Amino acid sequence: MSVLSSVYERAGETHREFECCDTQFVIRATGVRASTGVDAAQQTVRRLEGELNAFDEKSAVSRLDRTGSVENEHVARIVRRGLEYYERTNGVFDIRQGRIEHDLKAFLRGDRQSLPETFEAGDIELDGALVRTDHPLDLNGLAKGYIVDRAASALSGVGRRGFVSGGGDMSPPPGPVAVVSPYGDETPLKVLETDWFVASSGDYRRTRNGTDHIYDPTSERIGSRHESVTVVAERDCMEADALATTLAALPLDDALSLAESWANAEALVVHGGVFHTTEGFETHVLD
């Protein structure tokens, strides 16, 4: 056993679960002042939820949607990344579609009886931490990944290691992690062992009348095309989150082509009960 591993073992472990961002968060730390690290990570999650929740009228995102302008470093970082992914996905991942996203979520909650039909995108201006837009934004495809990334950063420390998971989006897990089956059974699709970030998407979450939260503005189609998508990405959880959302919206051949071409990321797409993986995905799977 290495000296650092011995320190981890002596210092003990802290594990915490709580509801946040409409999902279950899990934070775990082992090592020096593990409880302090978990406290800091949880506080980060709560604080960022208050700033990024578009359905909280006090949040920075809500103010942006109402007034068209907000100065907030976190919102600006997410918007900047969203514009990058708009270019990299040829418009499939489009943070400018906030009106569709709001109406679709209202339908899934039962507050609206019909699906949204009009896809409209506005303009975005960025100046440092200042964001201006003439149209509501949809930052949900990045916000949870961003929160996981920031919480994991708050959790880290000398002689301490751990991970953060928010509803399947997670920082590099310290051990094997199961990919949940979309079919309701207990057998996992795969068991991952990876030091990359993980995110999942698909048609088995947040559904109503066979409709889910995924949409493709380029084809104006609502609904995931696959039962499940799992992405591992080296960059961060935001990248894994954005790519998983994009692949879920694309036809199978297009999804696999994009995933194969995406540097430092691998994907598992379950379509019609068949597993499709990128060439390097199995290197992240426990033998």
Query: How far apart, in whole angstroms, are the C-alpha atoms of residue 24 and residue 210?
Result: 23
- Identify which has the larger pLDDT, 103 or 87: 87
Using one digit for the tens of pLDDT, what is the confidence trace for 104-136? 887 877 888 888 888 888 899 999 999 999 999
3-class state of residue 267 by DSSP: strand
Q: Which residues pair with 3 in a beta bridge?
A: none
Name the 3-class secondary structure at 37: helix
Sign of the CA dihedral with 15 first, then 17, 18, and 23 last: positive
Secondary structure of 60-127 in HEC code, one letter for each residue: HHHHHHHHCEEECHHHHHHHHHHHHHHHHCCCCCCCCCHHHHHHHHHHHHCCCCCCCCCCCCCCEEEE
pLDDT tens profile 246-275? 999 999 999 999 999 999 999 999 999 999
Hey, what are 223's tokens? 């609904």
Residue 162 reports pLDDT greater than 70 = yes
User: What is the predicted pLDDT for the residue at 7?
Assistant: 47
Determine the pLDDT at residue 115: 82
Domains of the chain: 7-284 (3.10.520.10)
| Element housing 202 (H / E) | none
User: How would residue 202 be classed by pLDDT, with cut points 50, 70 and 90?
Assistant: low
Q: Residue 6 above 60 pLDDT?
A: no
Greatest distance between any 2 Cα atoms in the chain = 60
Rounded Cα distance between 62 and 85, Å, is 22
Listed as own residue / partner, the contacts of 202-205 with beta carbons closer than 8 Å and 24 or more positions apart are 202/226, 202/227, 202/228, 202/229, 202/248, 202/270, 203/227, 203/228, 203/248, 204/228
pLDDT digits (tens, 9 = 90+) for 84-99: 999 999 999 999 998 8
What is the rounded distance in angstroms from the CA atom of residue 168 to the CA atom of residue 98? 23
CA within 13 Å, CB half, 35: 2
pTM of the model: 0.91
pLDDT tens figures, 50-73: 999 988 899 999 999 999 999 999
